[in-house]
Chains A and B, each alone.
Chain A
Amino acid sequence: MAELNTRANIKVPDEFYAELLTVHEGLSKAESDALNARLILLLANHIGDRQVLSEALQAAALKE
């Protein structure tokens, strides 16, 4: 049974973080919100596993 991976898993994390900010550059708040929503949906679809997604939703809500 898959579990949400909450350990560090991205190579060169500073690079990813910079890229994440770059796609938002020059966008209004509304445009950034829309981009974030699209990103979440694409990543969620990539993961696919319903249990992992539920765990991620709970983890992101900072709930125990």
Chain B
Amino acid sequence: MSKIFEIPLYPYQRSADQDAATPVRHPVVVVGAGPVGLALAIDLAMQDVPVVVLDENDKVSRGSRAICFAKRPLEILDRLGCGDPMVDKGVIWNLGKVYFDERQVFGFNLLPEQGHKRPAFINLQQYYLEQYLVERVRELQAEGKPIELRGGSKVLNVAQDDSGAELTIGTPEGPYQIKADWVVACDGAASPIRTLLGLDFTGRVFEDNFLIADVVMEAKFPTERWFWFDPPFNRGQSALLHKQPDNVWRIDFQLGWDIDREKELKPENIDKRLKAMLGEEISYELEWSSIYTFQCRRMERFCEGRVIFAGDSAHQVSPFGARGANSGLQDADNLAWKLKLIIDGKSPPTLLNSYNAERVHGAQENILNSSRSTDFITPKSDISRIFRDAVLDLSERYEATGPMVNSGRLSVPCTYDGSQLNGPDCDQMPERTRPGSPMVDAPVPAGWLLDQLGSAFHLMTIDADAPDTAGVDGVELKRLTLSSTDDADGYLRQRYLGDANAAVYLIRPDQHVAARWDHYDEAAVKAALLKAIGR
């Protein structure tokens, strides 16, 4: 049986653009049909912004790659209509165990907070996410939404001026040109677009190699994340075991810096490692293996004229902490509504400065966390190793140092504190939902809070009067009316009201809080809405 990543899902087809006398102009061209590019294109198409996605391949990515998806990206995928298949197929896990040598020294429980539609984390192969996104593209096309996915289409050149960009696209039938008002480069860590434009991508290189082996096996291990420091089967290095759907297990061996890549990738050498780890008697099928190195780096700016970067093309982190695909999806979430407002002429192009500021902030947070994890996992000096081992040794006996054990700090969404789009705060309300924060889900009479929001600006009121529809200069503001009398379990009180008697929240299309008050004031709401759209 062929694997999903062996089937061409969007094979090259001749486009009418190739026969046009002059290059056809498109509002948005997305380069790269990975998770970030597809999510962005779906978001735009759902809001009727015509979008063309280009990719030099025609299949979902080979191998599991990103496997951990956190709650916030799942909520974004819900908004895009892809959350259910992800969570239905994914493996939900909460427990992690950390071993040092042969001893378990630490355990953690993600202890998912109650009152959320989505779990804290699921594990799922990246190719499934991409498959669900491609299926969603097909669904939108069937509904007549303006989204095109062009496989076998490699960007050979990009040129731009103040009004737009021109792309040269290579195909099996030769090259052609198109124009775009906006180009979004979602073309991965090695971004050809970034290279074509000669832009920087600087940061810290970590001198280490990791071997990924995805094996299919019937194993009795529980659905937990197991991490080893200095285990007998990989002395001086680390290892990770993590479950994916279909009995696929992700096994990750740290190899060190001076290695022979070809030798390490030979199936017989991988077999030796797996047997040393899991026992001589195991039987398995090797689905995918790869050796990776990593860097923690980012572009200085994510926008360069008419070309915008999102996902790995803009920033790269170590894999510890599941911050790659998760943060890329948050880039797309942040960018789509802003592009729509600009294309519709409702916001000035300077609104993109907020995309740059907010997502650079997110990337910095991820780089900081993932660099710290990496320094713990692969100590760079003798003293760094001495302290690391001291933390692990103590953690076996005392709770005191457990919180310092860092085998990856798992991705949490970032709060855009200090964003130029943020309006007034109300200090009686909970800190976690302050302006800039992602909305926190909660049960409401109609189901789940986040499902009520969709992709428009909302005015959420709790026990407060407000008009049912408002808005300013053609930007619609929908009302979501909630009442504390429907809040039997106290989630709205805990997450939104705090000590206030009533609440009015201005919510952005990406479900981040823009401003909040304890009563409705038309002038204040209008001013905050104008600020949130960059006017």
Q: What does the 1/0 interface line of B137-154 toward A look like (CB < 8 Å)?
A: 000000000000000000
- In-complex Cβ contact of B400 among A33, A37, A42 (8 A): A42
Among candidates B386, B387, B400, residue contacting A45 with C-beta atoms closer than 8 Å: B400
A34 and B390 contacting across the interface, CB-CB below 8 Å: yes
Proximity string of chain A (22-51) to chain B, C-beta cutoff 8 Å, 1 when within and 0 when not: 000000000001100110111001000000
Q: Contact at B389–A42, with CB atoms within 8 Å?
A: no
B209 adjacent to chain A (CB < 8 Å): no
A48's closest neighbor in chain B, by CB?
B400
Q: Are A38 and B400 in contact (CB under 8 A)?
A: no
Instruction: Assess whether B389 is in contact with A41, with CB atoms less than 8 Å apart.
Output: no
Tell me the smallest distance from the CB of A16 to a CB of chain B, in Å: 21
Per the 8 Å Cβ criterion, residues 367-400 of B in contact with A are: 383, 386-387, 389-391, 393-394, 398, 400
Do B386 and A41 touch (CB < 8 A)?
no
Q: A33-B386, A34-B386, A37-B386 are in contact. Are A42 and B393 (CB under 8 A)?
A: no
Hey, which chain B residues are within 8 Å of A45, CB to CB? 400-401
A38 CA / B400 CA spacing, docked (Å): 11
Chain A residue numbers with a CB within 8 Å of B393 are 34, 38
Contact digits for B401-421, partner A, Cβ 8 Å, 1 yes 0 no: 100100000000000000000
Q: Are B390 and A37 in contact (CB under 8 A)?
A: yes
Contacts A41-B394, A42-B394: A34 and B400 contacting too (C-beta < 8 A)? no
Contacts of B391 in A (CB 8 A): 41
Distance between A27 CB and nearest chain B CB, rounded to angstroms: 13
Q: State the Cβ distance, A38 to closest chain B Cβ, in Å.
A: 5
CB-CB under 8 A from A40, the residues of chain B are: 387, 390
Of A33, A34, A41, the contact of B404 (CB 8 Å cutoff): A41
Contact partners of B387 in chain A: CB under 8 A = 37, 40-41
Bound complex: CA A34 to CA B383 (Å): 9
CB-CB < 8 A to A34: which residues of B? 386, 389-390, 393
Residues of B within 8 A of A33 (CB): 383, 386
Q: State A42–B391 Cα separation when bound (angstroms).
A: 9
Which residue of B has the minimal Cβ distance to A37? B390
A41 to B404, CA, bound (A): 10
How many angstroms from the CA of A19 to the CA of B531 in the assembled complex?
64
Q: Hey, which chain B residues are within 8 Å of A38, CB to CB?
A: 390, 393-394
Chain A residues contacting B389 (CB-CB under 8 Å) are: 34, 37
Asked if residues A42 and B386 are in contact (CB atoms below 8 Å), the reply is no
Q: How far is the CA of A45 from the CA of B390 in the complex (A)?
A: 13
* Contact code string B480-495 (vs A, CB < 8 Å = 1, else 0): 0000000000000000
How many angstroms between the C-alpha atoms of A33 and B393 in the bound complex?
13
Contacts of A37 in B (CB 8 A): 386-387, 389-390
Q: How far is the CB of A30 from chain B (nearest CB, A)?
A: 8
CB-CB contacts below 8 Å: B216-270 with A:
none
Query: CA–CA, A33 to B401, complex, Å?
Result: 18
Which has the most chain B C-beta neighbours within 10 Å: A33, A38, A40?
A38
Closest to A33 in B: B386
Q: B394: which A residues are within 8 A, CB to CB?
A: 38, 41-42
Please indicate the chain B residues that have their CB under 8 angstroms from the CB of A42 in the complex: 394, 398, 400-401
Bound together, the chains give a CA A41 to CA B388 distance in angstroms of 10
Q: Which residues of B contact A41 (CB under 8 A)?
A: 387, 390-391, 394, 400-401, 404
CA distance in complex: A33, B435 (Å): 47
Q: Which residues of A contact B390 (CB under 8 A)?
A: 34, 37-38, 40-41
A41 to chain B, nearest CB (A): 5
How far is it, in angstroms, between the C-alpha of A37 and the C-alpha of B395 when the chains are bound?
13
Query: Which residue of chain B is the closest to A39 with respect to CB atoms?
Result: B390
> In the assembled complex, how far is the CB of residue A43 from the closest CB belonging to chain B, in whole angstroms?
10
- Complex CA distance for A34 and B5, rounded to whole angstroms: 48
Alpha-carbon distance A45/B391, docked complex (angstroms): 11
Query: Chain B's nearest CB lies how many Å from the CB of A46?
Result: 8
In the bound complex, how far is the Cα of B404 from the Cα of A55, in angstroms? 20
Tell me the bound Cα distance from A37 to B383 in angstroms: 9
Give Cα distance in the complex from A34 to B22, angstroms.
71
> What's the Cα separation between A34 and B386 when bound, in Å?
6
Interface contacts beyond A41-B391, A41-B400, A41-B404: sample of 5 additional A-B pairs, CB < 8 Å, sorted by A = A37-B386, A37-B387, A38-B394, A42-B398, A42-B400
Q: List 28 A-B contacts (CB under 8 A).
A: A33-B383, A33-B386, A34-B386, A34-B389, A34-B390, A34-B393, A37-B386, A37-B387, A37-B389, A37-B390, A38-B390, A38-B393, A38-B394, A40-B387, A40-B390, A41-B387, A41-B390, A41-B391, A41-B394, A41-B400, A41-B401, A41-B404, A42-B394, A42-B398, A42-B400, A42-B401, A45-B400, A45-B401
5 tightest Cβ-Cβ pairs between the two chains A and B: A37-B390, A45-B400, A38-B390, A37-B386, A37-B387
Binding site for A on B (CB under 8 A): 383, 386-387, 389-391, 393-394, 398, 400-401, 404
